[in-house]
Structure 1
Amino acid sequence: MGRRDYENDPHAPAANSLVPAASAVVIDEAGRILLQRRVDNGMWALPGGAMNLGESLPECAVRETREETGLDVEVVGIVGTYSNPRHVFAYDDGEVRQEFSICFLARPVGGRLTVSEESTEVRWFEPSAVDALPMVSGVRKRVNDWRSGVMPAIG
C-alpha cells in the first residue's frame, strides 16, 4: 500500500486516525546506524510501525525492527517523542494518520540482516553518510536528534 507524508503542508488532507507507533535508532558496536529503504515510498527510514494491542511501545520497536530488518534488538534509551498534529501520513486506502510516535535507541543483540516485504534494502551506514540519503523530514529529524544527543522538547 502506498503512503504519502505531509508535514506542515496546508494542502494535506485532514487526519482521520491516530495510532500509537514506535521506531528505533539501532546503533551497532562500530557506531553505524541501521536504515531500511521502504517499499511504499522508496525513501530510507528507521525500522518502526504501529503498536499492537497487548504490547508496550518498547516491545513494538523491538518487534518492528525484527520484522523489517531481521535483527533482534534491545532498547537502551529514548531518542524522542514525536506528535506533530501537522504531520500526517495519507495511505492509498483512505486512512490519513496523525503522527504519534516514540523513537527509541537500541542495540543489536542477534538475528541476521535481511529485507522484508516492507523494504527493498537494509543496510548499516556511517552517521556522516546519512545526510546524502533520501528520507522524509520526520525520519531525518529523528536521526538528527539522535546525532545531537539531546532529547527534543515534547510536542
Structure 2
Amino acid sequence: MSRIDHINNPDAPEPNSVVPSTVAFVTDDEGRVLLIQRSDNGDWALPGGGHDLGERIADTAVRETREETGIDIEVTGIIGLYTDPGHLIEYGDGEVRQQFSIAFRGRPIGGQFATSAESVRVAWIAPEELDGLPINPSMRMRIAHGLQQLAEPYIG
C-alpha cells in the first residue's frame, strides 16, 4: 500500500483517523542507529507501527522492531510524543491518519537482520551518514532527539 507524508501541506486531504503508534530509536555499541528502508515510499525510518489491542504500548515498539528488522530490543526510555496535527499520513486505501507517535529508546538484545513486507532494507547507520539518506522531516526530528539524549521527553 502506498504512503504519502504531508507535513504542513495546505492541500493535504482531511484526516479521518488517528492511531497510537510507536517508533524505536535503537543504537548499537558503536552508536549507529537501527533504520529500515520502507517498502511503501522508499524513505529510511526508525522501525515502528500501530498499537494493537491487548498490548502495552512499549510492547508495540518491541514487536514492531522485531517484525520490521529481525532485531529483538529492550525498551529503556521515552524520547518523546509526536502529535503534530500538521503531519498527516495518506495511505492508498483512503485512510488519512493524523500523526500520534511515541518514540521509545531501546537497546538490542538479540536477533538477526530480516526484512519484512514493510522493510526492504535494514541497517545500522552511523549518525554522520544520516544526512545523505531520504528521511522525512518528522522522522528526522525523532532521530535527532534520540541522538541529542534530551533530559526530558519531547512533547509536540
Q: TM-score range by the shorter chain?
A: over 0.9
CA deviations over 1:81-122 (Å, ceiling 9, x no partner): 100011110001000000001000001001111111111110
1:153 Cα offset (Å): 3.9
CA contact (8 A) 2:79 2:154 kept: no
Equivalences for residues 125-144 of structure 1 within 5 A = 125-144=125-144
1:152 Cα offset (Å): 5.4
CA deviations over 1:23-66 (Å, ceiling 9, x no partner): 00111111110000001000100000000001111000000000
Name the residue aligned to 1:94.
94
Provide the TM-score with structure 2 as the length reference. 0.96
Equivalences for residues 17-96 of structure 1 within 5 A = 17-96=17-96
Aligned-partner Cα distance in 1 for 2:145–2:136: 14
Tell me the SS of whatever aligns to 1:24.
Answer: strand
- Cα 1:26/1:153, change in 2 over 3 Å: closer
Greater than 4 Å deviation, 4+ residue runs: none
Tell me the SS of whatever aligns to 1:36.
Answer: strand
1:154 Cα offset (Å): 1.4
Q: Give 5+ residue unaligned stretches, structure 1.
A: none
Provide the TM-score with structure 1 as the length reference. 0.97
1:70 Cα offset (Å): 0.3
Name the residue aligned to 1:154.
155
Q: Which amino acid in 2 is paired with 1:48? A: G
CA deviations over 1:109-141 (Å, ceiling 9, x no partner): 011111111111100011111121111111101
Aligned-partner Cα distance in 2 for 1:75–1:131: 26
Name the residue aligned to 1:5.
5
Aligned-partner Cα distance in 1 for 2:106–2:140: 17
Number of residue equivalences: 155
Aligned-partner Cα distance in 1 for 2:66–2:7: 28
Compare 143-152 and 81-90 and name the one that shifted more: 143-152
